[in-house]
Every structure is written in C-alpha cells, then in structure tokens.
C-alpha cells in the first residue's frame, strides 16, 4: 500500500454533495488508532463513500478528530455491532464495506470489489488476499469452498451488497470469528463470495495469523451447521465456483 497514493493522484469526490455508493463501517470496542484506515480511505480510487465508525461511548472522544472529513461520522453506542446493523438498514448505499479496526485497504480495493459485484450480481460479497506489514501473504479465500465448514479462510473486511448482508440477520462482524458466521449463513441462503487474487487488504494486527480462525472456538462456534446445512453449503459453493 503506497502512502503517497493520494498526494500523487489527488483523488477527491466528483460531487461532494452526491449520495455515496459505499457505506464503510468500522466497529471499535477497544482503544484503536484508525489513522492508517483514514489515510487509505482518502486515497481510494472510488471516492463515493461514507465512513461510519461505531464505537463504545468511552472511546468516542479519541476518534472525533477523524470526523474532520464530512464523509466520516463517529457514533458512540453501547452495542456497536447491533447498532451498526440499524445504520446499514437506514443507508441508501448499494454496497457496504465492513472494515475491521485492524485492517487497511489498498487504494484500489473499493473500486475493484464494487466493479466485480456490479458485474456479478449473484455474488454476495467480495474480499481480497491479505498481507501483513512484514510481507506475509494469506492467498486464500472464497475459492476454498466447503473447506469453510471447518476453517475460516476470509477475514472480516469485505464489500457486500447491502441487501445480502442484511439478509443474514446477523450483526456486523467485529472480528474474523464473527465473519465466519456470516459466510456460513450466506451459503445456507444460497449465496457466496469472491476473493480478488491480489493483496488488497493490509493486516495491521500483531496477531495476524493464517488461517483466519480461532482454534479455541473452532468446535464451539455459535452458528452450528446441521448435516442438511452442510450439504447446502457444499452445493452453494460448488455452484458459485463453477460459474
């Protein structure tokens, strides 16, 4: 990710008063520095976005400096995940980007992911390969298909069709384990995702690990897949991967 991207290309909204195409949502439940995320969003080649940071009330004051851009809102809520779902419901945006607090976006991610979804409306969401600041690469994603039944191969940062995200009935993901539930729920509803085979997501977490799942909850994940559900997931991912 090139820190000079914005200064070299001077990206800015074509019409600052126009309704945004992408609602970017970040949930914050601990003290977090979002300066890298802010820089990456301002450098996006797709500038038609609104960024909503939903945080615990005690954390709001430390994030208000980010709202100097009129496209950024900081909203204190006691239950950020549930509150953010209501914000998504009331948004006019076609796309929703769940941007986790420990990742930043390559300057072309929103444009590439939105283009892919717009031209493949049967796909519910789009992410990309992830790398960390040491250069380590996680080059797996939705192409892993029914292996998601046992392991989460996709992190919480992704671009969704708004309606498909809401149709899961789940709160927005705070972490990768929450995202795993969403992937399984999407598959159970006959939907699936696509992973752009480029490292367009940067992990800022010192706990970056591959694959993207927590061993401690592997067998106690809140969303349980029945035998019938497993068959549905396998059928869905086989259908989407054959397109």
How high is the pLDDT of residue 224? 38
pLDDT beyond 80 at 226? no
Query: pLDDT digit string (tens) for 108-130?
Result: 999 999 999 999 999 999 999 99
pLDDT at 175: 87
d(CA 114, CA 117): 5
Query: Greater confidence, 221 or 65?
Result: 65
Instruction: pLDDT band for 24, please (50, 70, 90 cuts).
Output: very high
Q: What is the pLDDT of residue 212?
A: 52
**Sign, Cα dihedral of 164, 18, 27, 202:** positive
Give CA 92 to chain center in angstroms. Answer: 18
Q: Which of 22 and 10 is assigned the larger pLDDT?
A: 22
d(CA 99, CA 103): 7
User: Which band of pLDDT confidence, cut at 50, 70 and 90, is reported for residue 220?
Assistant: very low
Answer whether residue 213 shows pLDDT above 60.
no
Q: Which residue has the higher pLDDT, 108 or 232?
A: 108
User: Average pLDDT for residues 33-50, to the nearest whole number?
Assistant: 94
Peptide bond into 211 cis (omega under 30): yes
Q: Architecture of domain 5-241 in CATH?
A: Alpha-Beta Complex (3.90)
Contacts by 89-92 with C-beta closer than 8 Å and gap 24+?
Answer: 89/166, 91/23, 91/50, 91/162, 92/19
Q: Which tens digits make up the pLDDT trace of 202-211?
A: 998 754 444 4
Mean residue pLDDT of the chain comes to 85
DSSP states of 122-149: T--EEEEEEEETT--EE---GGGGGGGG
pLDDT at 54 over 70: yes
Specify the pLDDT at position 243.
Answer: 56
Tokens encoding 161? 């069709």
More confident residue, 69 or 115: 115
pLDDT of residue 214: 44
Length of the chain: 243
Q: What is the pTM of this model?
A: 0.84
Distance CA 148, CA 206 (A): 24
Question: What would the DSSP string read from start to end of 46-75?
Answer: ---EEEEEEE-GGGSGGGGGGGGSTTEEEE
Digit-coded pLDDT (tens) for 155-188: 999 999 999 999 999 999 988 889 999 999 999 9
Q: What is the CB-side half-sphere exposure of residue 87 using CA atoms within 13 A?
A: 28
Domain boundaries, the chain: 5-241
């Amino acid at each position: 990710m090139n820190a000079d991207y914005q200064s070299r290309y001077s990206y800015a909204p074509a019409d600052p008063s126009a309704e945004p195409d992408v609602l970017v949502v970040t949930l914050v439940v601990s003290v977090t520095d979002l300066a890298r995320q802010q820089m990456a969003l301002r450098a996006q080649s797709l500038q038609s976005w609104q960024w909503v940071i939903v945080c615990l009330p005690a954390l709001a004051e430390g994030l208000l400096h980010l709202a100097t851009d009129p496209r950024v809102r900081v909203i204190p809520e006691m239950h950020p995940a549930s509150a953010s779902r209501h914000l998504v419901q009331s948004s006019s945006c076609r796309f929703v980007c769940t941007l986790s607090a420990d990742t930043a976006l390559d300057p072309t991610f929103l444009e590439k992911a939105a283009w892919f979804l717009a031209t493949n409306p049967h796909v519910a969401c789009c992410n990309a390969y992830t790398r960390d600041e040491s250069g380590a690469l996680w080059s797996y994603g939705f192409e892993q298909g029914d292996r998601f039944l046992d392991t989460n191969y996709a992190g919480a940062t992704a671009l969704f069709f708004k309606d498909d995200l809401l149709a899961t009935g789940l709160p927005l993901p705070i972490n990768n384990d929450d995202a795993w539930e969403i992937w399984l729920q999407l598959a159970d509803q006959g939907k699936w995702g696509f992973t752009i085979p480029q490292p367009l997501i940067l992990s800022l977490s010192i706990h970056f690990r591959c694959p993207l799942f927590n061993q401690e909850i592997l067998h106690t994940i809140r969303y349980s897949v029945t035998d019938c559900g497993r068959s549905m997931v396998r059928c869905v991912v086989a259908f989407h991967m054959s397109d």
